[in-house]
Structure 1
C-alpha cells in the first residue's frame, strides 16, 4: 500500500512540475510576442512596464488621458495605440526629441538601460505643468515707464501771504 501512495504522490508532484513549467513557458512566449508597433522615438525593446511608465509620466505632465494622442478602434472598441491618426501624437514625438536633444547637449545626459536619453534638465512638466497647451508667460514684465519730461523750471517759491 505504501508503494502505491508514494507512486501517487510522486506522480502528482511530477504533474505539478510539468504544469508549472508549461505555464511559465507560455507566459514567456506571450511576453516575447508582445512587441509594440509603431514606436518611432522610444526603444523597440522597451518593456510594457517601462512603456506604461513613460506614457503615465507624459499624461500627468500634460494633464491628459490616453485619448489625447491615441485613437479608439471602433471595430474592437479598444484603444489602437499604433495608429497615427491624431496630430498630437506626432507633436509628442517632436517634443520628446527636443527634450532629449536639450538634455544631451546642455546637461550631458547619458542613456538609460533601454537607450532613452535620461531626463536630467528638462522634461514635459518643465513647460506644461499639467496643461496640454501651456501659455507663454514672461518671466519678467517691466513696469510701465514714465514719460521722460524735463524737470520743471526752477521758479522762486511764492512769497508768504500776509494778513
Structure 2
C-alpha cells in the first residue's frame, strides 16, 4: 500500500511539474526588441527591412556592426534598437538626404525609376569618394 501512495505522489508531482513548465513556456514570449525606426516606415516587414540593411552592407562595404552596437548582455550579438553608435544617425541623415534629392530632382514616385542611392556615391566603400575631377582654376593675371 505504501508503494501505491508513493507512485501516486510521484505521478502527481510529475504532472504538476509538467503543467508548470507548459504554462511557463506559453507565457514567456520571445521578446525581441522592436526595431528603432526613425526614417523607415514603422510597419515595414522584416523581409523588407533586412533587404534594405543588406543593401547598406553592399553599398558601403561594411558589416552590421558598423552602425549597430554590441548588446550589453551578450557582446557577441548586436543591439539593433540601440542608437549608441553615431554611424546609425549618419545613416539616417544620408537616407533623408537621398530621399530629398530623389524627390526634388528626379520626382521619384514609382519603383524602378533611376534614383540616387547609397551605392551612387559610396561604390562599396565606407566613405564616399568623388569621381569628379574639377578643372584647375584659371591662373591669376
Same fold (TM over 0.5): yes
TM-score (norm 2): 0.67
2:4 is matched with none
2:65 is matched with 67
Higher RCO structure, 1 or 2 (CA under 8 Å, sep 6+): 2
1:96 is matched with 95
1:11-70 deviation digits (Å, cap 9, x = unpaired) = xxxxxxxxxxxxxxxxxxx8xx87733100000111110000000001110000000000
2:116 is matched with 122
Q: Whose radius of gyration is greater, 1 or 2?
A: 1
Aligned length: 113
Runs of 5+ unmatched residues, structure 2? 1-29
Q: What is the CA–CA distance in structure 1 between the aligned matches of 2:105 and 2:82, rounded to whole Å?
A: 33
- Corresponding residue to 2:132 among 135, 138, 158: 138
1:87 is matched with 86
SS at match of 2:78: strand
Q: What is the CA–CA distance in structure 1 between the aligned matches of 2:89 and 2:96, rounded to whole Å?
A: 11
Q: What is the CA–CA distance in structure 2 between the aligned matches of 1:64 and 1:133, rounded to whole Å?
A: 10
Residues 1:76 and 2:74 are matched in the alignment: yes
Backbone CA RMSD of aligned residues: 3.1
Runs of 5+ unmatched residues, structure 1? 1-29, 113-117, 149-163
TM-score (norm 1): 0.59
Q: What is the CA–CA distance in structure 2 between the aligned matches of 1:50 and 1:106, rounded to whole Å?
A: 25
